[in-house]
């Protein structure tokens, strides 16, 4: 069967009425998650995992997985659409990937062009979504065929590369990011060892034999951590919400933003495919690039529509691009995709090169559903944007306790132990302290998800080589991966070091 | 950057690294058919964690004089909500989902902002009953029901 046949099969899965419904709720919740400042795509996806797993309880194993993943992925890319709304109307980004949108978006809103800004970001996001989907379709098969030839040493090195890339780019301090990665990997070793069946770090506590549940930790770190921060710092939406007047952009607006949308899609997509870069960096680079390319860069920051179109397009393209390493290699490149991967594993489906062979239903159904989801998002975000803008006004008084209650429900519904609830609260506190002190959390979750796989591949490779660690360097592909991973960590250090030197000489 | 926190954090991670190394020495070093036992991976990670936390400790000494900008944090509100959440989790299995969720939400809403007691009661009641009904009756999931000593069920 060719790619097209698979895609058609995918559509036959995605267009089943219940899957359409799942996609619709996914993108609807995603947009709301994007609009609400207290809750980001990571906590949104994590919170919904238990709910989807109980919603799909009546379906067969594979059908349940397809429907759940369709919903969760919808939350992910839906949040990218919704994130722009608060940036434009309120000057507060709903997500970190929408920070750049505030620069020109809020200015446009002040000039009474909020509707045009919202429309352009919805249109840009739609184009980017389609673009990255086509990229995904074209790259999925060839990439997974390459990945199928990888053995344990190559996989081990590739995963190390992924971790290195995410740690190298996350947060302000690389030391802290690496500490979080290693800590995540260590947490993953608690419990029964998959290979030998030996219990590690369990101290005869029965609940620990299954290991620390990834879901509990990620809901705690992201959702509760964020909630605690909101409570402690008394964060509230201040300022007035700009009025939306005319939604349809003018011809001039469309003409001005056509270029930025095309370039933003391309740039965002490639940055998304790279592990570690992700939506936030993509929107940043896209904005900077447009400013450089523009004939009158002084317009930027004063309500240029290009400044809204390019970052919003790029962050959506990056979200689509990030699905590629997840689906074809089984390696998530960002915090949200790590959580999505956790969801796949919970449904007993291993993302990676075999996904397209073993579960074509899931892989192609998901891809096809993303087409449908993007169309729904365009409809939700163009005519209905006024309704979503009202969500911003949800009083935190109700929102904050409800998020806590939802987290407790979600964790208890899946784990059914008080131990996990206590772990949830502890992770919330730890997550708050780590995040407010610039310890990035996504590397920790990534380490937790990838830990067992890294260890298995390492030990399989070492078993084959009789314990000789040189096997990772003797296999050329593996050596190249390790080399790139090392460069990813070293280059920023060198740049920083050089930058410091320049500073010193200048001050002298 | 917060010098004090980073210093304590680096020491805490150092301790975690040492703990993992010490504890992984107790795990058997051999696995059947392989020279690589289940102890290698955590031990190696422990070593890396120690190196990294020493590096962080070293970095904290190089921080520029950190200006103290203590914004007053709302400890009282956080304390009440956290304590309520702790009790909620602790007693969830004993007093049942509906009752504990209702109480937690009511306390939470009122702590966030006093007043409008009736809408708080309606929303917390609606949420706790709604979730319980949907999950247990419609989706056939399992949550602890109302406590038996109420004699209702």
pLDDT band at A235 (very low <50, low <70, confident <90, very high): low
Structural domain harbouring B27: 3-62
Task: Verify whether the Cβ–Cβ distance A172 to B1 is below 8 Å.
Answer: yes
pLDDT band at A505 (very low <50, low <70, confident <90, very high): very low
Question: Are residues B34 and B56 located together in one domain of the fold?
Answer: yes
The DSSP letter of residue A261 is H
User: A437 in contact with B at a CB cutoff of 8 Å?
Assistant: yes
Give me the pLDDT at residue A73, please. Answer: 92
Chain A: closest CA distance from residue B149 (Å)? 21
Distances (CA, A) of B71 to A33, A151, A232, A235, A308: 28, 53, 10, 12, 33
User: Is residue B68 situated within a structural domain?
Assistant: no
pLDDT band at A503 (very low <50, low <70, confident <90, very high): very low
CB A285 within 8 A of CB A267: yes
Mean pLDDT of A216-233: 89
The DSSP letter of residue B32 is T
pLDDT of A432 above 60:
yes
Mean pLDDT of A65-75: 91
Give me the pLDDT at residue A464, please. Answer: 86
Q: How many domains does chain B have?
A: 2
Mutation site for B-interface testing, chosen from A397, A403, A408 by largest number of B Cβ within 10 Å = A397
CB B20 within 8 A of CB B43: yes
Rounded-to-integer distance, Cα A25 and Cα A422, Å = 30
Pseudo-torsion of CA A131, A135, A136, A141, nearest 10°? 160
Mean pLDDT of A466-491: 89
Q: Which residue has the higher pLDDT, B24 or A58?
A: B24
Q: Percent of chain A, pLDDT > 70? A: 95
pLDDT of B152 above 70:
no
Instruction: List, as ranges, residues 462-501 from A with C-beta within 8 Å of B.
Output: 462-463, 466-467
Mean pLDDT of A398-427: 90
Question: Are residues B31 and B55 located together in one domain of the fold?
Answer: yes
Give me the pLDDT at residue B33, please. Answer: 63
Q: What is the pTM of this model?
A: 0.86
Task: Verify whether the Cβ–Cβ distance A462 to B34 is below 8 Å.
Answer: yes
Residues written for chain B? 153
Q: How many domains does chain A have?
A: 1
Give me the pLDDT at residue A504, please. Answer: 37
Best CA proximity match to B143, nearest among B153, B128, B126: B128
Determine the 3-state secondary structure of A395 from DSSP.
Answer: coil
The residues pairing with B31 across neighbouring beta strands, listed in sequence order, are B34
Rounded-to-integer distance, Cα A121 and Cα A308, Å = 6
Query: Which stretch, A42-51, B81-90, B133-142, has highest mean pLDDT?
Result: B81-90
Question: Are residues B82 and B145 located together in one domain of the fold?
Answer: yes
Give me the pLDDT at residue A488, please. Answer: 84
Give me the pLDDT at residue A296, please. Answer: 81
Give me the pLDDT at residue B148, please. Answer: 67
ipTM: 0.90
Contacting residues of A for B16, CB less than 8 Å apart: 183, 186
Give me the pLDDT at residue A248, please. Answer: 76
Instruction: List, as ranges, residues 153-172 from A with C-beta within 8 Å of B.
Output: 172
Per-residue pLDDT reduced to its tens digit, B114-132 = 888 888 999 999 999 998 8
Residues written for chain A? 508
Question: Are residues B82 and B46 located together in one domain of the fold?
Answer: no
Token pair recorded at residue B106: 């009511």
pLDDT band at B56 (very low <50, low <70, confident <90, very high): very high
pLDDT of A324 above 80:
yes
Give me the pLDDT at residue A204, please. Answer: 84
Mutation site for B-interface testing, chosen from A401, A429, A447, A456 by largest number of B Cβ within 10 Å = A401
User: Is residue B14 situated within a structural domain?
Assistant: yes
Structural domain harbouring A167: 3-507
Give me the pLDDT at residue A166, please. Answer: 81
- The number of angstroms, rounded, from the C-alpha of A49 to the middle of its chain's C-alpha atoms is 14
Residue in A with minimal Cα distance to B100: A405
User: Is residue B69 situated within a structural domain?
Assistant: no
Per-residue pLDDT reduced to its tens digit, A99-121 = 888 888 888 888 888 888 888 98
Mean pLDDT of B95-120: 90
User: Is residue B41 situated within a structural domain?
Assistant: yes
User: Is residue B70 situated within a structural domain?
Assistant: no
């Amino acid at each position: 069967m060719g790619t097209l046949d698979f895609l058609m099969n995918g559509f036959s899965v995605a267009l089943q009425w219940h899957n359409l419904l799942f996609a619709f709720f996914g993108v609807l919740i995603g947009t709301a998650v994007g609009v609400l400042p207290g809750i980001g795509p990571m906590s949104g996806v994590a919170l919904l995992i238990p709910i989807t797993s109980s919603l799909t309880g009546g379906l067969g194993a594979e059908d349940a997985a397809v429907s759940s993943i369709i919903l969760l992925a919808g939350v992910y890319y839906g949040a990218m659409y919704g994130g722009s709304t608060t940036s434009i109307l309120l000057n507060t980004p709903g997500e970190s990937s929408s920070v750049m949108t505030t620069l020109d978006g809020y200015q446009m809103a002040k000039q009474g062009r909020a509707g045009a800004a919202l429309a352009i970001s919805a249109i840009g996001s739609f184009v980017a979504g389609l673009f990255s989907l086509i990229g995904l379709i074209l790259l999925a098969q060839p990439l997974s065929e390459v990945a199928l030839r990888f053995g344990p040493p190559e996989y081990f090195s590739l995963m190390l590369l992924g971790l290195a890339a995410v740690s190298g780019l996350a947060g302000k301090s690389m030391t802290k990011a690496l500490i979080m990665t290693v800590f995540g990997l260590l947490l993953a070793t608690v419990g029964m060892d998959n290979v030998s069946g030996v219990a590690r770090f369990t101290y005869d506590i029965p609940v620990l034999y299954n290991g620390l549940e990834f879901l509990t930790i990620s809901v705690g770190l992201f959702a509760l951590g964020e909630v605690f921060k909101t409570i402690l710092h008394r964060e509230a939406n201040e300022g007035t919400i700009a009025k939306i007047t005319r939604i349809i952009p003018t011809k001039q607006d469309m003409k001005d933003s056509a270029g930025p949308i095309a370039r933003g899609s391309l740039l965002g997509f490639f940055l998304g495919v790279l592990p570690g870069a992700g939506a936030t960096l993509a929107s940043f680079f896209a904005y900077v690039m447009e400013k450089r390319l523009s004939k009158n860069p002084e317009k930027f920051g004063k309500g240029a529509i290009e400044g809204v179109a390019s970052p919003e397009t790029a962050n959506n393209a990056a979200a689509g691009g990030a699905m590629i390493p997840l689906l074809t290699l089984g390696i998530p490149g960002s915090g949200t995709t790590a959580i999505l991967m956790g969801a796949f594993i919970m449904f007993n489906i291993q993302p990676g090169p075999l996904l397209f062979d073993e579960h074509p239903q899931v892989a192609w159904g998901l891809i096809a559903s993303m087409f449908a989801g993007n169309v729904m998002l365009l409809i939700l975000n163009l005519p209905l944007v006024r309704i979503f803008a009202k969500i911003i006004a949800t009083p935190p008084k109700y929102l904050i306790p409800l998020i806590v209650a939802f987290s407790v429900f979600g964790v208890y519904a899946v784990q059914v132990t008080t131990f996990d609830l206590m772990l949830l609260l502890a992770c919330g506190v730890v997550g708050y302290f780590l995040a407010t002190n610039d310890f990035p959390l996504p590397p920790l979750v990534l380490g937790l998800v990838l830990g067992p796989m890294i260890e298995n591949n390492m030990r399989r490779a070492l078993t084959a080589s009789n314990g000789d660690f040189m096997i990772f360097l003797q296999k050329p592909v593996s050596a190249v991966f390790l080399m790139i991973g090392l460069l990813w960590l070293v280059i920023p250090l060198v740049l920083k070091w050089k930058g410091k030197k320049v500073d010193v000489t200048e001050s002298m | 950057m917060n010098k004090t926190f980073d210093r304590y954090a680096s020491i805490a991670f150092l301790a975690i690294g040492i703990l993992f190394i010490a504890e992984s020495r107790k795990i058997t070093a051999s696995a059947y058919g392989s020279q690589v036992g289940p102890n290698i991976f955590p031990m190696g990670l422990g070593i890396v964690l120690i190196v990294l936390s020493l590096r962080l400790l070293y970095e904290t000494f190089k921080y520029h004089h950190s200006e103290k900008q203590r914004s007053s944090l709302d400890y009282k509100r956080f304390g009440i909500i956290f304590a309520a959440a702790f009790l909620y989790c602790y007693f969830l299995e004993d007093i049942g989902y509906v009752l504990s969720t209702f109480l937690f939400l009511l306390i939470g809403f009122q702590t966030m902002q006093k007043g409008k007691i009736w809408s708080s009661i309606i929303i917390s009641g609606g949420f706790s009953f709604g979730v319980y009904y949907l999950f247990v009756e419609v989706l056939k999931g399992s949550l602890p029901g109302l406590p038996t000593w109420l004699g209702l069920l």
